[in-house]
Structure 1
């Protein structure tokens, strides 16, 4: 399996506590949706991109990681352009792109185990109330983060196999085998988790 999405480094972002990173992301998400001045949003977008690159990730890898989400953001912005106004389209694009880049920055600067430990601590009060099991919640978050690059790698393998056979890559011909392979991996991981007694049920 591939490595996770985190990048080794010793930058201030890497040394920042996980809880602090999550608080910054949450605060930015709230603040951005009260902000509609492009004189502030455009520089903020540039700053978010600079922060992402400061983790040590290359431009090509940064684009590879965010291109699908940014394409979705572009579609949302285009819908706003058609149904609302060009100004609102640019505002929406900047807001969502900033959030995508900030989330990618935090993911790149934080190891999966650190994320899981922090999620477990945050979920501990809910566990004391009997609502969730903190270890299960942190494990679920860790697996989601861990499998993002794995699923992308599976997709690229399927695309390469199509090209090697001279076949056109269509959404359906790529999606079906991708889902099947992902479900097989999920079953294998679930059995390994149960065998090690990580889950109560």
Structure 2
């Protein structure tokens, strides 16, 4: 499977995973408590500078953002249809800034670091008897791990359609994508259970 992590020696790579996740959470709170367009624009510029300082080629950096960026544009468009233009611009800037920094975090944090930190955060909930911390960490790690694989499969299905001269439609692409993803998820779950990784509580 592919990974979102990129080898490098940028300051974000050297930054502790816990600190990066904390900054991401604080940034999200700040972004969603202001509607000031100049301030949000500065946020986009700053997070963009962080993301593009990771050492990725420009084309590669843009390609990693494209699926999420398209989603953000759709959200902004719908916001523009039903709200004043100011609200649409605010939504676009907020989500873009958050996306850029989140992309920088995932590109500079390994899956094992994600799992360790999420598991640690879930410990208080485990002590309260609400969740199994190890299972929560594993689930989040698998979600992050699956993202590039799903995108890769989506691209492969589109290319297969084009090679056969079939017009690419959402239905014809999403159906096989969902089937392949569910099959992979089932195989991974079986492998996890066979190795006794998940803790089952009766």
Asked if these proteins are the same fold (TM beyond 0.5), I'd say: yes
CA distance in 2, matches of 1:75, 1:171: 15
What is the TM-score normalised by the length of structure 2? Answer: 0.94
Deviation at 1:7, TM superposition (A): 0.8
Shift of 1:90: 1.4
Name the CA distance, whole Å, in 1 between partners of 2:180 and 2:71.
24
Deviation track 1:56-104 (CA, whole Å, cap 9, x = no partner) reads: 2222222222222222221222233232222222121111110111111
Which deviates more from structure 2 when the two are superposed, residues 144-153 or residues 50-59?
50-59
Q: Distance in 2 between matches of 1:170 and 1:83?
A: 27
Question: 1: CA distance between counterparts of 2:32 and 2:120?
Answer: 28
TM superposition score normalised by structure 1: 0.94
Matching of residues 38-49 of structure 1 within 5 Å: 38-49=37-48
Instruction: Give the Cα separation in 2 of the matches to 1:158 and 1:83.
Output: 34
Which whole-Å CA distance do the structure 2 matches of 1:26 and 1:73 have between them? 19
- Asked if 1:110 corresponds to 2:109, the answer is yes
Distance in 2 (CA, whole Å) between partners of 1:74 and 1:46 is 17
Indicate the SS of the match to 2:33: coil
Quick one: distance in 1 between partners of 2:47 and 2:15? 16
How far does residue 142 in structure 1 lie from its aligned partner after superposition? 0.6
Equivalent-residue separation in structure 2 for 1:154 and 1:72 (angstroms) = 18
Residue 192 of structure 2 corresponds to 193
1:41-190 aligned at under 5 Å gives the runs 41-190=40-189
Residues 12-48 of structure 1, C-alpha deviations (whole Å, 9 max, x = no match): 2111111111111111111112222222221221111
Following superposition, which runs of at least 4 residues in structure 1 exceed 4 angstroms of deviation? none
**Structure 2: gaps of 5 or more residues:** none
* Pair 1:8-2:1 in alignment: no
> In structure 2, how many angstroms separate the alpha carbons of the residues matched to 1:9 and 1:51?
13
Counterpart for residue 32 of structure 2: 33
Q: How many residues align?
A: 200
- Distance, in Å, in 2 between the alignment partners of 1:19 and 1:29 is 15
Q: CA deviation at 1:153?
A: 0.9
